[in-house]
Every structure is written in C-alpha cells, then in structure tokens.
Structure 1
Amino acid sequence: MPGPRTLSRLLVLHSWAGIVTGLLLFIVCFSGAVVVFKHEIDLWANPSLARLPRSERPAALATVLAQLQTHYPGATVESIALPDAVNPNYFAWVRGPGANARTKLALRSDTGAVVGPVDSQLGQYLRMLHVFLFFGPRWIVGFLGVSMLVLIGTGVVIHRKILAELFTLRWDRSPRVLLSDLHKCTGVWGLGFHILIAATGAWMGLAPLFEQGYEYLTTGATTAAAATQHGTAPAAMQSLDALHAAAQQAMPGLQTQHVSLRRWGSSSAEAGFSGKLGGHLASTARVDLDAVTGRLNKLHDPRTRGFWSLLNSLMEPLHFGDYGGLTLKWLYFILGLTPALMSISGTLIWLMHRGSPAVR
C-alpha cells in the first residue's frame, strides 16, 4: 500500500495532468460521445438524402462510376462509399475539373444517378474534431489517451476504497465535497469503459508513429524507389464490379464499405476494397487489385496476419462502438459523456481548492 508521501505525489500528478489536459479532454471526449452517431447526424443534416429510396439491390459499381464520369468529365474519382444499414445512398469523393477541390457527392442507390454535392458534412466535421482536433496530427489525441490512462491509474490508487465510493454522495456537505463525490462516483461507475476508450484512443493515435518510424528505417529507401516506378500510360480498366467480385473471392466474408481508385485509367491503376468481415469484429480488412489485369496486389486480412494486426483491427470498432447496432451506440454515447463531465468537475474541484481552504 502506498505511503502518505507517495499518495501526495500521485494526487499532485493527478491534479496537474487533469488541469493541463482538461479542456482538450473535454473537447475530445464530448465530440467522441456524439460522433458515434456520425452517419445518423449526416442524414439528419441532409434531410433530402434521408428521403431517397433504399434499394435492396443497389446499382452496380460500374454504373455509379459511369454516372460520375458523365457528370464530372475530367474529374478524378477517388473513392466510393457503399450504402449500409444507416445510409441508403452511395457517396463518392471526386477531385478536379467540374468539381471544386475535393467534393463529396450523393448518388441514388437504386439507379446510381448523381443527386449532387452533399450540403452538410456535420458528422464528418465532428469526427475530424474528435480524431484530429480539426487540423492537428492524430498523435495529439493519442497523447490525450495516455493522459487519460494516467488520470485513471492515479485516481484508482488515490481512491483505494473504490467499492465503498460506489454510492458515496454526501448531499449535506459543501458544494466542493459533493462535487468531489460526484467526480469519484462517475469515475468508479465508468472505470471499465474509460480504460477501454483511453487505451484504444492512445493506440490509434500513437501506434502509426511507431509503424511509420519502423517502416522508414527498414524499407524507406525501397518504398521511395518504388513510388517513382508507377506507369502513367493510358490503359483499359476492368469492370469495377468484376474487380469487386475478385476481391470478395480473395477474401471470403468481406463486407465492402469503401472502394478507392488510384491512378484510374493508367497502366498502374489500382482498386482497393475495404470494409468489415462477416461474423468478425475486425474493421480493417482490405484487398488491393491491379485494375488492368485484375491481379491481386495486396491482401490485408487481420484474421491471418498475426496477433498485432488482429489487435490493431479491433481498436476502431471498440473505440467507436459501431459493431452492435443503435442500442450499443446509445450506451457508448451516455458513457462517453462521463469523462467529459469528469474533466469539468475535476477542474472545478481544483479551482475551489485553490480559491478556498479545504472543507472536510
């Protein structure tokens, strides 16, 4: 059991870690709680899209691509999002002539016809706020995940009588004491969820830094040399639907959510199909095919790539709660608000402590 001096130091660490990161933690945690409804928010913000018919047999990908190329000749189609349980439409991102900068377009799922640019991307803006703080690198949010783990760890040690504090609310004491009790109860009741969110957020924010550093040290020169070897001569593309079928054959169980097109129309064109795996929590499955020959270029199946790849594939669904339907989303939303509230209550407790003598 830690001695009084150790507990005092942990309390100082807990207090200052909360004060330094409190505002950013509130922003990240609050936006994260809301962003579990990203797709629902996007539909709510675009009521005309929500009224479009849902097709049990969506239009062929080749039809969608042809519609885009007809309406935006000369533009580069970068990716296509397929309809899902929430969103009844196709979405596509195009760049270049006829489309100002990078534009998100909606298309009908039944015919593939272009509806037009999406008016509001409120859900995506909230996700950008949560993941990148709009313009920051993702490692900042990863660092906040580490900070949250430090706060959790020090808080558990400081409040050793954790079970006794499950129902400790001293309503007859001073506001500071009551606020402190609420702070501790919220932390105890949400402890497991807070650890899950902090650990997965830290992993997703910081793991890419280590991966990129390792790749740079081990394969940087080779990758740089390979990047200059892409052919740019025009070439005939295979049907996007034929490539999709080949991707699903290469990875049984793939439930495609996004299609990415790289260097489309050239001899080095690639089509990437990414999404979830049927009956599996992993969300980073991907198949890359040569769009000219249909040859398999790369396959990322978390089920067969070892423990660390499988673990990495679980981080996003566990963090955002998009694997269990609407009920789980509401649970993530309610629990996700608690660390945001704790950042406020912790700051208020600190300010009360600095501004007046402790009330016991």
Structure 2
Amino acid sequence: MPTSQRTLNRLFVLHSWAGIVTGLLMFIVCFSGAVVVFKNEIDLWANPSLAGLPRSEPPAPLDTVLAQLQARYPGATVETIALPDDVNPNYFAHVRERGAPASQRTKVALRSDTGAVVGPVDSQLGQYLRMLHVFLFFGPRWIVGFLGAAMLVLIGTGIVIHRKIIAELFTQRWGRSFRVMMSDLHKSAGIWGLGFHILIAATGAWLGLAPLFEQGTKYVMTSGAPAASAARKPPPTAEPAPMQSLDALYQSAQQAVPGLQARYVSLRRWGTTAAEASFTGALAGHLASTARVDMNAATGDAKKTLDPRTAGFWSLVNGLMEPLHFGDFGGLALKWLYFILGMTPAFLSISGTLIWLDSRQQRRREAQQQRAGVQGGLRA
C-alpha cells in the first residue's frame, strides 16, 4: 500500500528535526567513532618512543611486570595491567600513586621482553578520542545510546521518504543548485552505507541504553523486597595475606573459561584476604569480547566467570555488540573499512544541516519576494 503524501510530509518533518536537534552531537560521535577504530595505532603514533620497543613472544610473566611496578612505585596501588596485543608491543598499567587523588591515575608503559618500567605514557590521544565517542568525555553513556536510537529513526524515515532507492544510487546532479547537489550527495551516502549505518546505530543504541534498561529492571524487580537489602551482610574485614602467583591465576582463569585471551588484568584489594584479580578479554576463535573471570587472589579459587558461549542468548548478543560496533576483530583492512564507512554518517549530519539551512533561506527569499510583489501591486 503506497504511503500517503500527508504521511510522507510528517515523516519528512520528523526526519528533518531529528537531524537538526541531534546534528552537532551526531557529528562529534560519528567522526570520533570513525577515528577511534585506530585507537591503538594513534596511541603508538602519539608516543613514538614506545613503537620502537621490541616485541617479545611470549611476553614477560605478569608476576615480573607486577614486581617491577611495585619496585618503581612503592606504596602505589596497581589497578590495571594491559597485556601486549597485535598493535601494541608493550605492557601498560594504570597506577594510583600514594597521596594522589582517588580519580587520578598514572598510565605506565613497560617492556614486553623484560617487564622493565619505561615510564609514564606521554600522550593518551587514542583514549581521549574513545572517551569522546563513548561518553562525550564526561556524560553518561546513555546519551550516546540515545543518539544511536535517533540515528535509527533517521534511517527509518529516510528509507520511507526516499522510496526510489535503486534509482537514486547513481543520481548526482552536479550542475544544479547547491541544495540539489548536496541533497543528491546526502541520499547517495545514506544509501551506499545503509547496512553499515544500521549496524552502527543498532549496536551503539544497545551499548548505551541496554545497561540503563537493565538497571531499571533490577530496580523494579527488587523494589518490593526491601528486606533482602537489609539482610545483606557487610563484606568481611580484609586482613593482610600472601598472594597467589598472577601467572598461576591467569592459567586457572583459562581453565575456567577455555580459550580466554586476557587483554586486561584488574587488581582489587591486593595483598589482603579479599584480594581479587579479574581477567578480561576475547575468546580464541570467537567474536564475543566480554569473557571474564574473577579470581580470589589469596586462595586461587575462581569466584565468578562470564563466558558468552554458555551464558545464554542475550549474553551472547551483548558480547557481540562491542566488536561489531568498533570493528576491532578483523585486522587493519577491516579498520580502514570501518573508518571510511564511519565517516559517512558524520557527513550526513553536516549535509542534512546544510540542506535544512538552505531550504529555510530559500523559503525566506520566496516569502520576501511575495511580500514585495503584494506591496508593489498595492502601490500600482
């Protein structure tokens, strides 16, 4: 059944205003998202001294890395250790030094062959770009998730408005007015990148909004049972205790989740009976990127595991969202593809705004001409 002209006009208004209201933030998020696929490469480019360090296979033991950090920063808290990957040949660690504010961390680079501390990282440009894309630096992630939902609205209304999609694939009228040329470019970019735009919008909306819905669901489900929270026992007092080998803990984590390739190791309450070491990373031969094992660092027992392969359908879907959104699972060629296609929604936000502004100016000029014609007729 063909869509009525009245419905098309309403969808056009919705499409226009959704683009105008979100245009600036959409451009920032899409542009930074296209660039951030090269986050690791950007960090190396911004720190050329690190790119020249040797790569070691296998890398130095985690115990050696931790010992080097504790020797270089006595009394500091080692919170996270990032293992070498396909791009970065080095270890990285986030350290909170003694006396530093709770929110201040020092990012430290270490050699992968010896575990020796190189020193604080000079630039974190890649991480800043990721923070801009994911959180707009300091905002909650649901704002970016909302932009993903808005992008889906723009895609849906755009598909209905431009019904002659196949015909418009190769339509570009270069010799016409600015608005016509820009409109053709806007349509072509939207059509050629349609599948990618749907993927990025859907995964972005999921990553930003799914945690919000999950928290809301938990609140609704537990709001009627206040006794449960009242009966919750306080955590036991943490006493000093010897720690298990970090490398042995990693081996136990790989036994708990076969195929785990840890990218990060997070340490909490290290040196006490309540110490934990969490290993987070990808799964060998699997796209899901949210595998994690929490180990009791004092006893060596696995406390909690997250394996998307066995955690149910929705957990598997959630584990696929981030690699599909950032394109970090297929090597350099896929990153370039994500970068090129990722620039198209940034262009769409600019071109759509320019088309809207030019259209308003055109209507304003036509209204002025009509008023001038009416006034001229009255004088005659």
Question: What residue in structure 2 maps to residue 75 of structure 1?
Answer: 76
Query: Out of 326, 330, 340, which is 1:320 matched to?
Result: 326
Distance 1:81 1:37 in 2: 17
In structure 2, the partner of 1:157 is: 160
Alignment correspondent of 2:8: 7
Give the match for residue 333 of structure 1.
339
Q: 1:175 and 1:316 mapped to 2: Cα distance?
A: 38
State the distance in 2 between where 1:187 and 1:55 align: 44
Task: Name the CA distance, whole Å, in 2 between partners of 1:282 and 1:341.
Answer: 30
Of residues 281, 288, 292, the one that matches 1:286 is 292
Matches within 5 A, 1:258-273: 258-273=264-279
- Do the aligned partners of 1:73 and 1:98 also contact (CA within 8 Å) in 2? no
Q: Which structure 2 residues correspond to residues 184-203 of structure 1 after superposition, within 5 A?
A: 184-203=187-206
Q: Distance in 1 between matches of 2:189 and 2:90?
A: 40
> Which structure 1 segments of 5+ residues have no match?
none
Which range moved further: 286-295 or 223-232? 223-232
Show structure 1 runs of 4+ deviating over 6 A. none
Shift of the alpha carbon at 1:217?
4.0
* Aligned partner (choices 116, 120, 124) of residue 121 of structure 1: 124
Q: How does 1:83-232 map to 2 (within 5 A)?
A: 83-97=84-98, 101-218=104-221, 228-232=234-238
TM-score (norm: length of structure 2)? 0.92
Q: CA deviation at 1:231?
A: 2.9
Could you give the per-residue CA deviations for residues 28-48 of structure 1, whole angstroms, max 9, x where no partner exists?
A: 000000000000000000000
Q: Return 211-220 or 318-327, whichever deviates more.
A: 211-220
Write the distance in 2 (CA, Å) between the matches of 1:110 and 1:52.
9
What do you get for the CA RMSD once the two structures are aligned? Answer: 1.7
Task: Give the % identical residues.
Answer: 75
- Counterpart of 2:50 in structure 1 is 49
Task: Tell me how far 1:96 sits from its aligned partner.
Answer: 2.8
Tell me how far apart the structure 1 counterparts of residues 42 and 199 of structure 2 sit (CA, whole Å): 24
**Structure 1 equivalent of residue 309 of structure 2:** 303
Partner Cα distance (1:49, 1:148) in 2: 38
Residue type matched to 1:291 in 2? A
Q: Between 96-105 and 74-83, report the one with greater CA deviation.
A: 96-105
Taking the aligned partners of 1:57 and 1:310, their CA distance within structure 2 comes to 30
Cα deviation digits, residues 242-265 of structure 1 (max 9, x gap): 100000111111111100011111
Structure 2 Cα separation of the partners of residues 357 and 322 of structure 1: 46
Separation in 2 of the partners of 1:99 and 1:339? Answer: 41
Q: Distance in 1 between matches of 2:118 and 2:186?
A: 49
Separation in structure 2 between the aligned mates of residue 244 and residue 227 of structure 1, nearest angstrom: 30
Q: Tell me the TM-score normalized by structure 1.
A: 0.96
Structure 1 position 73, deviation (Å)? 1.1
Q: Residues 52 and 99 (structure 1 numbering): CA distance in 2 closer, same or farther, change over 3 Å? A: farther
State whether structure 2 residue 40 is matched by structure 1 residue 39.
Answer: yes
| Structure 1 residues 236 and 251: alpha-carbon distance in aligned structure 2, compared to 1, 3 A threshold | same
In structure 2, the partner of 1:356 is 362
Whichever residue aligns with residue 322 of structure 1, its letter is: D
Cα distance between partner residues in 2 of 1:7 and 1:298: 52
User: Quick check: 1:231–1:266 contact (8 Å CA) kept in 2?
Assistant: no
Q: How many angstroms does 1:57 deviate by?
A: 1.6
2:26 match: secondary structure: helix
Q: 2:11 is aligned with what amino acid?
A: L
- How many pairs are equivalent? 359
Counterpart residue identity of residue 153, structure 2? V
Give the Cα separation in 1 of the matches to 2:256 and 2:338: 34
Secondary structure of 2:285's match?
coil
Distance 2:68 2:100 in 1: 14
Which consecutive unaligned segments of at least 5 residues does structure 2 have? 366-380
